[in-house]
Chain A
Amino acid sequence: MWQSLFEELKDHGFTVLAVAIDQPAAARPWIEAAAPVYPCLIDQDHHLADLYNLVNVPQAVWIDERGRIVRPPETAGSTDAFRAMDRKTFALPQAAAAERIRVKAMYLDAVRDWARRGAASPHVLDESRVTSRLPHAHDGTAEAHAHFRLGLHLLREGLDDEARAQMAAAIRLHPDSWAMWRQAAAKDARGLAAGPEFWARVDALGARPYYPPADIAATP
């Protein structure tokens, strides 16, 4: 997904660090097919989700030359347009498809602007605005990450029943985490956790977003 953007911007002191919040065997074919020239890392224990309070993919963080967060974790160009999809054919109404393309382009333009102009980019947030937008960990989410880590470990140890129980405990404690739910859920032939249970969870969101909009303005 980031290949052309990386090629375009790598000479501006910019890099993409892509992290698959996923299992190596599942991520491997995607990485091999994309053959990215930017670093593509595998986070099989969802460590990054714990460190940065991530709840879904794609979420991205902008980190400047000094290692400072200049945009907090936020949705990286995706929209809830998929909720209008025909659930049998996966066809998207035209308006939803157009909206998806528009939001993604706007996000990528913002990344381009930041890569080229650095701190002068209007998309770079000052410290107080970054702080106010940081996602908050609480006792339940911290405990959920511990259960989830144990579950993934037990799965690798072949202790499936105990692993499932730990992951279920994590999901109960941190119901906002789609990363936990989808990692643990049964996958269809495409490798997606997109069966009836997924749609039921999405529908249960009601007016709440699956991908909260990133609140990025159009680049002037």
Chain B
Amino acid sequence: MITVLHEQRQTQWPDAAADGDALWLDDAAIEQATGWRWKPEGLCHGELCVPLPPVAAAAEVVRDGRLDLAAMWRRSGQPVVRDSASCHWVFGTGAAQRSAALATLQAPDFELPDLDGRGHRLSHYRGRKVLLATWASW
């Protein structure tokens, strides 16, 4: 069983194949796990597409209807980390994407639970001034 974490998503893939630094997933799994889509032109998110390697090298990242998502993720300049058994993977968001989002000055949206498990989404508070204030017990 392979667990994939991306942003606030957590998905599990009994049929995924992990091999060291490679993680092979089909197109449906990629979209469900990350929201990115594997298209003929590359690995895409909205307007942005990270092109696949040239045909000669494509076999390195495409095999039997699956893509090595980890290799493509690294090609996009974003961090991939995994545990030593290659069972738990995090596909992080790159610094460029984070900085670009903040630079729009539109507050990045998120949904987080309260103690009762009820979700609260920042954008639901549109129309009010929001003091987004962090704290911790530590």
Contact = CB atoms under 8 A, between A and B. Distances in A.
A153 B10 CA distance: 10
Nearest to A19: B134
Contacts of B5: 149-150, 153
B127 A154 contact: no
B135 A26 contact: no
Contact of B133 (A2, A30, A131, A147): A2
Chain B CB count within 10 A is highest, among A30, A137, A146, for A146
B44 to A, nearest CB: 20
Contact of B110 (A26, A31, A47): A47
Interface in B39-74: none
A60 B134 contact: yes
A197 interface: no
Contact of A69 (B10, B81, B107): B107
Interface string A111-144: 1001100100000000100110010111101110
A103 interface: no
Contacts of A169: 81
Contact of A58 (B102, B114, B133): B133
B136 A53 contact: no
A187 B80 CA distance: 30
A136 B94 CA distance: 12
Interface residues of B, number: 53
A6 B132 CA distance: 12
A176 interface: no
A20 B129 contact: no
B90 to A, nearest CB: 4
Interface residues on A, range: 35 or more
A51 B80 CA distance: 17
A98 to B, nearest CB: 23
A63 B103 CA distance: 14
Contact of A39 (B8, B81, B98, B120): B120
A135 B10 CA distance: 27
Interface in B6-30: 7-8, 10
A179 B131 CA distance: 19
A211 interface: no
A22 B95 contact: no
Nearest to A6: B131
Interface of B: 3, 5, 7-8, 10, 77-84, 88-95, 98-99, 101-103, 105-110, 112-115, 120, 122-123, 125-138
18 contacts: A18-B133, A39-B120, A42-B112, A50-B93, A51-B98, A60-B131, A63-B132, A68-B107, A127-B105, A136-B95, A139-B77, A141-B95, A142-B98, A143-B92, A146-B80, A153-B10, A182-B138, A183-B138
